[in-house]
Amino acid sequence: METVLSGIRPTGNLHLGNYFGAVQSFVKLQDEYRCFFFIADWHSLTTHPRPENIRQSVKTILAEYLACGIDPEKATIYVQSDVHEVVELYLYLNMNAYLGELERVTSFKEKIRKQPDNINAGLLTYPSLMAADILIHKANKVPVGKDQEQNMEMARKFARRFNTIYDVTYFPEPESFHFSDKALKVPGLDGSGKMGKSEGNAIYLVDDEKTIRKKVMKAVTDAGPTVPHSEKPEPVANLFTMMEIVSTQDTYDYFNEKYNTCEIRYGDLKKQLAEDINTFCTPIRERILEIAADNAYMDKVARLGAQKATESAARTILEVREIIGFRP
């Protein structure tokens, strides 16, 4: 059976971008595959070296994972830092990762621009740690958003390189996975391309109805088209993309028709969109609050996940040590 794996850094709450870009796929895949979903708390140190309350941040994501429908009976849900074997594989991969290729990774270049005072080795070797996360369970499919393509390319490269150097066919080459024919990019509603926590434009799953309404009503639009069937400028196209994601086909078609005949009233569209986002988020929010209040349950899930993930990881490390030539 093929293995699916993915992770998210605990640097804030889950937003619609995370959900539709990644988490939705996790939920759908857990019935059919051997699945691992983890919380990448070590990775978060690359940008937040002195986390304020890392345990709380991890719990937040854990509650949100569970509220979205990831089932700990089906999938292994764990915290990265609970599985020490990952570090050993990270070390081996780093020995065959070259400065030049790591420096060329776009997200590294972006991050050193954003944090010039903290260009740490962890940031440089972010792709090796991510590859270790993936290869430790010999994962085949990795559901991630478009922004992770280059990290995935590196993971494949490291897998191939390991196999070549030690003359084995051990690690499978992991591929990115998305449900639709291409990776989904959930747009921001502020006219910018992508929804994200660092972009400051995110609608969070845990946002209450009023907050969501406020965020949507604030979305950037324009004066409206004057020529039938004109192309949608980006901020307007983003609203329609969001509608495509959360609303029914009928609703989308209705407003699209209004746009094409130049009768669109953005106030109406936003009201509908806010309502549809709320219909989607409200039950999830209620579950998040319920699960987040149940510390005993979350501890149990994390402990069980750590145990299952460690078993799988330990098996890999044993084999890797043998392949390289260490005492198993």
Which residue type, as a one-letter code, is found at position 126? Y
Q: Residue 37 in contact with residue 80, Cβ under 8 Å?
A: no
DSSP secondary structure letter of residue 139: -
Number of residues that bind ligand TRP (CB under 6 A): 14
Contact between 178 and ligand AMP (CB under 6 A)?
no
Tell me whether residue 270 is one of the annotated catalytic residues: no
Catalytic residue among 197, 258, 271, 308: 197
Q: Of these partners, ligand AMP, ligand TRP, none, which one is at the site of residue 43 (CB under 5 to 8 Å by kind)?
A: ligand TRP
| Of the residues 66, 75, 86, 144, which one makes contact with ligand TRP according to CB under 6 A | 144
Q: Residue 208 in contact with residue 217, Cβ under 8 Å?
A: no
Distance CA 46, CA 90 (A): 15
Q: Residue 193 in contact with residue 187, Cβ under 8 Å?
A: yes
**CB closer to ligand AMP, 9 vs 285:** 9
Number of residues that bind ligand AMP (CB under 6 A): 16
Neighbours of 232 (CB within 10 A): 17
Catalytic residue among 59, 111, 138, 270: 111
Q: Of these partners, ligand TRP, ligand AMP, none, which one is at the site of residue 7 (CB under 5 to 8 Å by kind)?
A: ligand TRP
In the structure, how many helices (H) and strands (E) does the chain have? 15, 5
Helix 266-292, helix 249-260: angle, nearest 10: 150
Q: Residue 31 in contact with residue 74, Cβ under 8 Å?
A: yes
The rounded Cα 145 to chain-centroid distance in angstroms is 6
| Of the residues 130, 202, 292, 306, which one makes contact with ligand TRP according to CB under 6 A | 130
Tell me whether residue 194 is one of the annotated catalytic residues: yes
Tell me whether residue 308 is one of the annotated catalytic residues: no
| Of the residues 8, 68, 123, 136, which one makes contact with ligand TRP according to CB under 6 A | 8
Contact between 6 and ligand TRP (CB under 6 A)?
yes
Q: Residue 138 in contact with residue 173, Cβ under 8 Å?
A: no
Catalytic residue among 141, 194, 215, 270: 194
Contact between 194 and ligand AMP (CB under 6 A)?
yes
Residues that bind ligand TRP (CB under 6 A): 5-9, 40, 43, 130, 133-134, 142, 144, 148, 151
Footprint on this chain of ligand AMP (rule: CB under 6 A): 8-9, 17-18, 21-22, 144-145, 147-148, 184-186, 194-196
